């Protein structure tokens, strides 16, 4: 493979335009970073950090040699590019066991000295499947590469990925997004299969085309074919006079998402297979085929392999769909994502209803202990229900003065039971003090100085009290 040309830059231009690089790097899903000639990382995108299972802030303080020494990945080609003053590529493995093809490109100044090194990487399996033909015109190849980089976007705000399993999923999703490979999403109900499907479409080359989502389980069995393939006028009783375009045609130039693909009737499975193999569709009662071009993403919560063995799903269609499977882990297996999702949903619903509802530490603890059989959908509904319920709590603003409780023993017992207070006077006073301090800390978002100020005590006193509560 011939050496690629080295990028040269004027010596007077001795600083990277960091703002410009951030604009570019934040739109790239593949790992990419910039180092100086000593291997210190000057700039990177979040995908690189995700791949290495570290935060972006940690990465930006690191040196490539240290990363190798600490086993974040097994080899660096950055320093080889510095030494040889030419592009160096090779295989690396990250601590998450990802195999990547890494390419380090040195940028030289006018004197021929290495100024910076740009290192990028792509998944090994995708490079093997979709590698460019080196014999093609280099200018056309460069144009394709630029278009590819411009079209890619990684937005981790849309999919929560605090857990290692979701980080791995997100890396794989970004890697496959730019291809036209058929993807099948497998996960329990409520894990967010359609969210991931829309993510794949949004950051694909078909992003400007339509995204057609179809839930196969909700289509009436006698109308499935008409909905998918469309029909000509007068095709059957109840058909419109103008005929109707099918969902296959509607997805032309974009992405078709078939959710609950396992519910598609066997008779329609063979017709779907033919559409995928020929790229043609024929409306009901039509005698002509229409050429269509769409990318298929399918999803299911069932075991399609087992269904093929039970003759409930066509084996040939299964293998046609199972090109690039992505498995979404259930929420109970990624507890690290629960708090992050909760924070996201709280912000969403607080903005929606115009309030500032907050959860207590006890609430958050209970959320993390829950099994979440309904997964992310159940958590989202739970948070919205809490926010809405807080709106309908009776207002106490008009209660400027609280009347003294009557000296009725039954009333006193109800109140103290409600507050879970019992014991000696000192014990009750300490319990009330602890509850109030906890309440004020929650109101102050855990800020010690602000809490101490509101309580009218010194910060050191507050620290001692909190430490005493922890020992209980």
Tens of pLDDT along 301-343? Answer: 999 999 999 999 999 999 999 999 999 999 999 988 888 899 8
Q: What is the CATH number of the domain that holds 427?
A: 1.10.10
Using an 8 Å Cβ cutoff, are 47 and 28 in contact? yes
Residue 161 and residue 119 share a domain: no
Question: Which of 116, 87, 155 shows the shortest CA–CA distance to 13?
Answer: 116
Contacts 24+ apart (CB under 8 A), 353-362: 353/387, 353/388, 353/391, 355/387, 355/390, 355/391, 357/386, 357/387, 357/390, 358/442, 359/386, 360/442, 361/438, 361/442
- pLDDT of 438 strictly over 90: no
Residue 241 and residue 157 share a domain: yes
Radius of gyration over every alpha carbon of the chain, rounded to an integer in angstroms: 30
Measured between alpha carbons, how far is 82 from 107 in angstroms, rounded to an integer? 9
Query: 359 in a domain, yes or no?
Result: yes
- pLDDT of 255 strictly over 90: yes
Residue written as tokens 């006077």? 425
Q: What is the CATH number of the domain that holds 53?
A: 3.30.450.20
Domain span at residue 158?
A: 150-327
Q: How many domains does the chain contain in total? A: 4
- pLDDT of 85 strictly over 50: yes
Query: 402 in a domain, yes or no?
Result: no
- Show which of 282, 307, 327 is a domain's final residue: 327
Query: 211 in a domain, yes or no?
Result: yes
Angle between helical axes of 193-202 and 164-177 (0-180°, round to 10): 40
Residue 464 and residue 432 share a domain: yes
Residue 197 and residue 287 share a domain: yes
Mean pLDDT, residues 418-441: 75
- pLDDT of 133 strictly over 60: no
Measured between alpha carbons, how far is 42 from 232 in angstroms, rounded to an integer? 61
Residue 386 and residue 320 share a domain: no
Residue 296 and residue 175 share a domain: yes
Mean pLDDT, residues 398-412: 43
Q: What is the CATH number of the domain that holds 214?
A: 3.40.50.300
Mean pLDDT, residues 352-373: 87
Query: 140 in a domain, yes or no?
Result: no
Question: Which of 164, 181, 214 shows the shortest CA–CA distance to 52?
Answer: 164
Angle between helical axes of 425-443 and 459-470 (0-180°, round to 10): 110
Residue 343 and residue 323 share a domain: no
Residue 343 and residue 307 share a domain: no
pLDDT of residue 98: 78
Question: Which of 419, 424, 423, 463 shows the shortest CA–CA distance to 441?
Answer: 463
Residue 322 and residue 174 share a domain: yes
As a whole-number percent, the residues of the chain with pLDDT over 90 amount to 29
Q: What is the CB neighbour count within 10 angstroms for residue 96? A: 15
- Show which of 300, 327, 354 is a domain's final residue: 327
- pLDDT of 444 strictly over 80: no
Measured between alpha carbons, how far is 50 from 377 in angstroms, rounded to an integer? 25
- Show which of 124, 139, 168 is a domain's final residue: 124
Query: 43 in a domain, yes or no?
Result: yes
Residue 316 and residue 174 share a domain: yes
pLDDT of residue 8: 53
Query: 13 in a domain, yes or no?
Result: no
Query: 438 in a domain, yes or no?
Result: yes
Mean pLDDT, residues 362-369: 86
Residue 300 and residue 199 share a domain: yes
Query: 47 in a domain, yes or no?
Result: yes
* Coil/strand/helix, residue 447: coil
Residue 90 and residue 185 share a domain: no
Question: Which of 371, 26, 455 shows the shortest CA–CA distance to 188?
Answer: 371
Using DSSP bridges, classify how beta strands 244-245 and 230-231 pair: parallel, antiparallel or unpaired.
Answer: antiparallel
For the ranges 130-139, 223-232, 373-382, 398-407, the one whose mean pLDDT is highest: 373-382
- pLDDT of 467 strictly over 60: yes
pLDDT tens readout for residues 220-252: 777 788 888 888 875 655 555 667 888 899 999
Q: Which two tokens stand for residue 472?
A: 């209980």
């Amino acid at each position: 493979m011939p050496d690629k040309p080295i990028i040269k830059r004027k010596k007077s231009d001795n600083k990277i335009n960091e703002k410009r690089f951030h604009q570019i790097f934040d739109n790239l899903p593949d790992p990419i970073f910039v180092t100086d000639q000593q291997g210190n990382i000057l700039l990177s995108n979040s995908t690189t950090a995700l791949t290495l299972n570290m935060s972006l802030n940690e990465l930006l303080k690191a040196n490539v040699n240290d990363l190798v020494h600490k086993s974040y990945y097994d080899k660096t080609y950055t320093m080889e590019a510095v030494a040889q003053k030419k592009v160096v590529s090779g295989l690396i493995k990250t601590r998450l066991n990802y195999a990547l093809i890494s390419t380090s490109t040195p940028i030289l100044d006018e004197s021929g000295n290495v100024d910076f090194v740009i290192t990028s990487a792509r998944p090994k399996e995708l490079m093997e499947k979709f590698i460019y033909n080196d014999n093609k015109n280099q200018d056309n190849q460069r144009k394709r590469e630029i278009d590819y980089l411009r079209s890619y976007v990684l937005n981790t705000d849309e999919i929560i990925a605090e857990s290692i399993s979701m980080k791995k999923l997100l890396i794989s999703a970004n890697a496959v997004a730019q291809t036209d490979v058929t993807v099948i999403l497998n996960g329990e109900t409520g894990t967010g299969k359609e969210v991931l499907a829309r993510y794949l479409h949004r950051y694909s080359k078909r992003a400007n085309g339509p995204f057609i989502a179809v839930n196969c389980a909700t289509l009436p069995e006698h109308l499935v074919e008409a909905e998918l393939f469309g029909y000509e006028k007068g095709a059957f009783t109840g058909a419109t006079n103008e005929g109707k375009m099918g969902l296959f045609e509607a997805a032309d130039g974009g992405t078709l998402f078939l959710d609950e693909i396992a519910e598609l009737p066997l008779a329609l499975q063979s017709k779907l297979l033919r559409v995928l193999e020929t790229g043609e569709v024929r409306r009901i009662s039509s005698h002509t085929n229409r050429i269509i071009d769409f990318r298929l993403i399918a999803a299911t919560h069932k075991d399609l392999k087992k269904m093929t063995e039970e003759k409930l799903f066509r084996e040939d269609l299964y293998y046609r769909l199972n090109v690039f499977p992505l498995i979404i882990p259930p929420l109970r297996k990624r507890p690290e994502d629960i708090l992050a999702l909760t924070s996201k949903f709280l912000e969403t619903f607080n903005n929606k209803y115009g309030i500032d509802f907050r959860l207590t530490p006890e609430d958050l603890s209970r959320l993390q202990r829950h099994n979440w059989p309904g997964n992310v959908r159940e958590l989202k509904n739970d948070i919205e229900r809490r926010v809405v319920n807080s709106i309908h709590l009776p207002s106490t603003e008009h209660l400027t003065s609280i009347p003294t409780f009557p000296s009725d023993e039954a009333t006193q017992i109800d109140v103290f039971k409600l507050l879970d207070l019992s014991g000696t006077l000192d014990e009750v006073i300490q319990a009330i003090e602890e509850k109030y301090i906890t309440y004020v800390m929650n109101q102050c978002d855990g800020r010690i100085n602000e809490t101490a100020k509101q309580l009218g005590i010194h910060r050191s006193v507050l620290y001692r009290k909190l430490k005493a509560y922890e020992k209980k």
